[in-house]
């Protein structure tokens, strides 16, 4: 039997157990959900280094009972020098490389998000724990070592040929020139020093202090266009999240440049199609979810980018008339041809709800596995390659411009239901994120499954994500053969993957029931756990 974890006074879920335990320790000391998430974010950056880093971006979705939800956009913009001419001068006229210094073309925003969250915690929630306490576990793990996960070991080995040549990668992530073995001890002492500096001097030092100077010098040395001026200009932004009015209540997600609106669209389309009346796990269920995804992805590819460049307000895309019009485009018996292209990406999602019902849905990423692959000499920071998603075509929706924010697959989700429940949920996995969100949300909310059962059940993925280049409809092998056959007969290009395959992401979910009982589920495909008390 698959049982959810339950608690009353606080709960955290993360794709690595040490991160959820860091959050729980803070909650036990009287910390609030935001403080707990800062601790988890710092720990996960150390213990899951192939999935995220302090050299990446992050997004926060937060809710306090009785108040409207809020969000933090900690996304870095393209460098001032990052122009199409700059790339052309370096021989790149068709696309931006995925690895190396030229791929590290945006500011890393995640540390600014930690700082904004810490300030918000103190001012709005009476938080008292200092950064030195919240980063304590992460510093310890970086300095004294972590046990290498199978995920880190196997992914390092798989990407070795393209990463070993990147500046700083081999000395940081390889042992004697090879991927570290699962279960071996792995140290990141320069990163420990950097985290100690942030704990002592504050998060602003990453952008306007001694750390910023070191970062800028090393970025210039490896050919990145990101400068000290770019770092100094960066600030995390407090924003109002997007809201979908659902039959079960209000569902929230992050604003552009993320694809949060697309995750909400899929959930809205399925609600319009009365997904609750469709048997969970059936061919009809998977078919409708996949076809809703196709409709939503076409909207994304037409509209979603840096909000300053969008031709329509993201919230307008969630109007009932638009959602229902997309639902009417779906053929319940036949798959629409899929000519689109999905995006890869690796990420971590985590959730925390404290005893007072304050909730955080959080996501942090460096885009591809190990981001740009570069590790800065002075700080041990692995820098993201999110900006390789920019197009060098001036007419493209996500065209590169200095100071422009890149399109983000990242999107943390949350729901406030009419029956008094609060839900935080999400996953990693590039364009798999909206699909897995729809899977676990519909299973838990429309079909009444427990969080753990909803997360553990067989999943699917249309298109590619980290580790998988094909655009097929991937089904975990635990689906009944009759479901596979029927989906193929409807025109889906089906590919069978592992029973519990990382390709479909590392998901998690926490539900706070109206009586205060907390119930959570972590993904068996990850190294994660739910921690509660």
In a domain, 137, yes or no: no
In this prediction, residues 323-340 reach a mean pLDDT of: 92
Q: What is the pTM of this model?
A: 0.96
340 pLDDT more than 70: no
Report pLDDT for 344.
Answer: 56
Q: Residue 1: is its pLDDT beyond 80?
A: no
Cis upstream peptide for 257 (omega within 30°): yes
> What is the DSSP pairing of strand 359-367 with strand 70-74?
unpaired
Residue 465 confidence (pLDDT) above 70: no
Q: Residue 182 in contact with residue 150, Cβ under 8 Å?
A: yes
What is the overall mean pLDDT for the chain?
96
pLDDT of 477 reads 98
Q: Is residue 270 part of a domain?
A: yes
Q: What is the mean pLDDT of residues 516-525?
A: 97
Pairing of strands 494-497, 473-476: parallel
Mean per-residue pLDDT, 28-34: 98
Q: Is residue 146 part of a domain?
A: no
Show the tokens assigned to 451. Answer: 């969080």
172, part of any domain = no
Per the domain annotation, does 323 fall within a domain?
yes
CA–CA separation, 402 vs 422, rounded Å? 39
Q: Do residues 57 and 74 touch, judged by C-beta distance below 8 A?
A: yes
| Residue for token pair 């956009």 | 73
Catalytic residues: 347
With CA atoms as reference, report the closest residue to 506 among 371, 292, 360, 351: 351
Whether 439 has a pLDDT exceeding 70, the answer reads yes
Give dist(CA 93, CA 24) in Å, integer: 49
Alpha-carbon span 75 to 107, nearest angstrom: 8
The whole-angstrom separation of Cα 459 and Cα 456 is 8
* Distances in whole angstroms, Cα of residue 520 to Cα of each of 12, 173, 353, 455: 8, 33, 10, 10
Percent of the chain with pLDDT over 70: 97
CA distance 49 to 42: 11
Residue 390 covered by a domain: no
Within a 10 A sphere around the Cβ of 205, how many other Cβ atoms?
20
**Domains contained in the chain, number:** 1
304 within some domain: yes
CA distance 469 to 462: 11
* pLDDT score of 449: 97
Q: Which of 103-117, 378-392, 428-442 has the lowest mean pLDDT?
A: 428-442
Confidence tier at 471 by pLDDT (50, 70, 90) = confident
pLDDT for the residue numbered 343? 56
Q: How many whole angstroms separate alpha carbon 39 and alpha carbon 17?
A: 13
What is the model's pLDDT at position 46? 98
Cβ of 65: how many Cβ atoms within 10 Å? Answer: 12
Predicted pLDDT at 368: 93
| Per-residue tokens: 95 | 């696309």
Q: Is residue 180 part of a domain?
A: no
Question: In DSSP terms, which residues pair with 495 in a beta bridge?
Answer: 474
Predicted pLDDT of residue 463: 86
Which pLDDT belongs to residue 522?
97
- Domain with 505, as residue range(s), is 240-345+409-532
Would you say residue 342 has pLDDT above 60? no
Residue range 213-261, pLDDT digits in tens: 999 999 999 999 999 999 999 999 999 999 999 999 999 999 999 999 9
- Cα–Cα distance, 344 to 363 (Å, whole number): 16
Q: Which residues pair with 425 in a beta bridge?
A: 413, 509
- pLDDT (average), residues 291-296: 97
Which pLDDT band, with edges at 50, 70 and 90, does 346 fall under? low
Q: What is the pLDDT, as a whole number, of residue 329?
A: 97
Report the pLDDT value the prediction gives residue 155, as an integer from 0 to 100.
94
Looking up residue 264, the CATH number of its domain turns out to be: 3.60.20.40
Is pLDDT above 70 for 160? yes
| Average pLDDT estimate for 469-494 | 94
Give the model's pLDDT for residue 276.
97
Q: How far apart are the C-alpha atoms of 411 and 200, rounded to whole Å? A: 30
Q: Identify the helix (H) or strand (E) that includes residue 27.
A: helix 17-28
pLDDT for 429: 80
The tens digit of pLDDT for each residue in 166-214 reads 999 999 999 999 999 999 999 999 999 999 999 999 999 999 999 999 9
């Amino acid at each position: 039997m698959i049982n959810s974890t339950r608690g009353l006074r606080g709960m955290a879920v993360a794709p690595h157990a040490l991160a959820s335990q860091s959050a729980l320790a803070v909650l036990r000391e009287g910390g609030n959900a935001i403080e707990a998430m800062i601790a988890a974010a710092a720990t996960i950056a150390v213990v899951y280094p192939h999935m995220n880093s302090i050299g990446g971006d992050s997004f926060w979705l937060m809710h306090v009972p009785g108040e409207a939800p809020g969000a933090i956009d900690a996304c870095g913009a393209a460098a001032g020098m990052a122009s199409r001419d700059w790339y052309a001068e370096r021989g790149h006229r068709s696309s931006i490389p995925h690895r190396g210094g030229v791929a590290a073309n945006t500011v890393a925003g995640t540390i600014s998000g930690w700082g904004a969250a810490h300030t918000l915690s103190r001012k709005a929630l009476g938080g008292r724990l200092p950064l030195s306490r919240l980063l304590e576990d992460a510093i310890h793990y970086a300095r004294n070592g972590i046990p290498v996960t199978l995920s880190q070991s196997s992914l390092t080995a798989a990407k070795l040929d393209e990463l070993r040549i990147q500046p700083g990668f081999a000395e940081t992530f390889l042992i004697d020139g090879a991927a570290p073995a699962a279960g071996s001890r792995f140290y990141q002492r320069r990163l420990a020093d950097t985290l100690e500096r942030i704990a002592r001097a504050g998060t602003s030092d990453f952008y306007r202090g001694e750390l910023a100077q070191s970062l800028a010098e090393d970025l210039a040395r490896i050919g990145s266009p990101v400068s000290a001026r770019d770092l100094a200009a960066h600030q995390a932004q407090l924003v109002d999240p997007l809201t979908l009015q659902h039959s079960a209540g209000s569902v929230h997600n992050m604003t552009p440049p993320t694809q949060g609106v697309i995750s909400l669209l899929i959930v809205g389309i399925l609600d319009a199609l009365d997904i609750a009346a469709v048997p969970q796990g059936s061919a009809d269920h998977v078919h409708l979810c996949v076809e809703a995804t196709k409709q939503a992805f076409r909207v994304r590819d037409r509209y979603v980018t840096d909000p300053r460049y969008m031709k329509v307000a993201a919230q307008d895309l969630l109007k009932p008339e638009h959602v229902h019009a997309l639902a009417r485009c779906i053929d319940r018996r036949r798959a629409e041809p899929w000519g689109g292209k999905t995006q890869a990406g690796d990420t971590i999602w985590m959730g925390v709800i404290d005893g007072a019902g304050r909730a955080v849905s959080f996501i942090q990423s460096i885009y591809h596995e190990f981001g740009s692959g570069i590790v800065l000499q002075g700080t041990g920071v692995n820098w993201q390659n999110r900006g390789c998603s920019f197009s060098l075509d001036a007419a493209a929706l996500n065209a590169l411009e200095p100071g422009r924010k890149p399109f983000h697959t990242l999107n943390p989700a949350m729901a406030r239901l009419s029956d008094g429940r609060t839900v935080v949920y999400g996953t990693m996995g590039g364009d798999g994120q909206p699909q897995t969100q729809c899977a676990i949300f519909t299973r838990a909310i429309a079909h009444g499954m427990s969080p753990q059962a909803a997360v553990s059940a067989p999943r699917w993925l249309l298109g590619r994500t980290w580790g998988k280049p094909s655009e097929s409809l991937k089904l975990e092998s635990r689906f009944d053969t009759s479901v596979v056959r029927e989906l193929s007969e409807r025109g889906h290009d089906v590919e069978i993957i592992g029973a519990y395959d990382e390709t479909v992401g590392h998901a998690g979910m926490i539900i706070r029931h109206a009586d205060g009982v907390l119930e959570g589920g972590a993904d068996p495909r990850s190294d994660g756990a739910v921690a509660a008390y």
